[in-house]
Amino acid sequence: NAGVMQNPRHLVRRRGQEARLRCSPMKGHSHVYWYRQLPEEGLKFMVYLQKENIIDESGMPKERFSAEFPKEGPSILRIQQVVRGDSAAYFCASSPYGGQGKPQHFGDGTRLSIL
């Protein structure tokens, strides 16, 4: 999974705090995807972004979650007022473009634990 960098690898928050997860895509990739994986489950799509644009947020919870991919810097997944149910592994993936035929390359994720 070299190339897509996520940090932090582990994040502990208390209920009600904010969590910020960062993702730097592979060099030359301008498309970023966020997925969430609950224990013993497969990855679930959350949001797809290009530089400065949210393209598809159909998998994002309606409240407390937001994502951005600014012109400069990493993509950020932000979770406000975290609850115990937000505990999960959050994975970021990137690709050079969004069409068919190009795989998404994943980072090693951020494990979020809510106390």
Partner 1 sequence: DAKTTQPTSMDCAEGRAANLPCNHSTISGNEYVYWYRQIHSQGPQYIIHGLKNNETNEMASLIITEDRKSSTLILPHATLRDTAVYYCIVRVDGGNQFYFGTGTSLTVIP
The residues binding partner 1 (CB under 8 A) are: 1, 4, 6, 33, 35, 41-45, 48, 55-56, 59, 91, 93, 98, 100-101, 103-109
Q: Measured between alpha carbons, how far is 74 from 85 in angstroms, rounded to an integer? A: 25
Residue 52 Cβ vs partner 1, minimum distance, rounded to whole Å: 17
Contact (CB, 8 A) for 9 and 22: no
Residue 17 is given by DSSP the state -
Closer CB to partner 1, 96 or 98, in the complex: 98
Backbone angles phi, psi at 32, to 5 degrees: -125, 140
Closer CB to partner 1, 23 or 114, in the complex: 23
Closer CB to partner 1, 1 or 80, in the complex: 1
Residue 35 Cβ vs partner 1, minimum distance, rounded to whole Å: 8
Contacts of 78 (CB under 8 A, 6+ apart): 18, 19, 20, 21, 65, 66, 67, 68
Closer CB to partner 1, 68 or 108, in the complex: 108
Residue 86 Cβ vs partner 1, minimum distance, rounded to whole Å: 19
Residue 67 Cβ vs partner 1, minimum distance, rounded to whole Å: 13
Contact (CB, 8 A) for 61 and 74: no
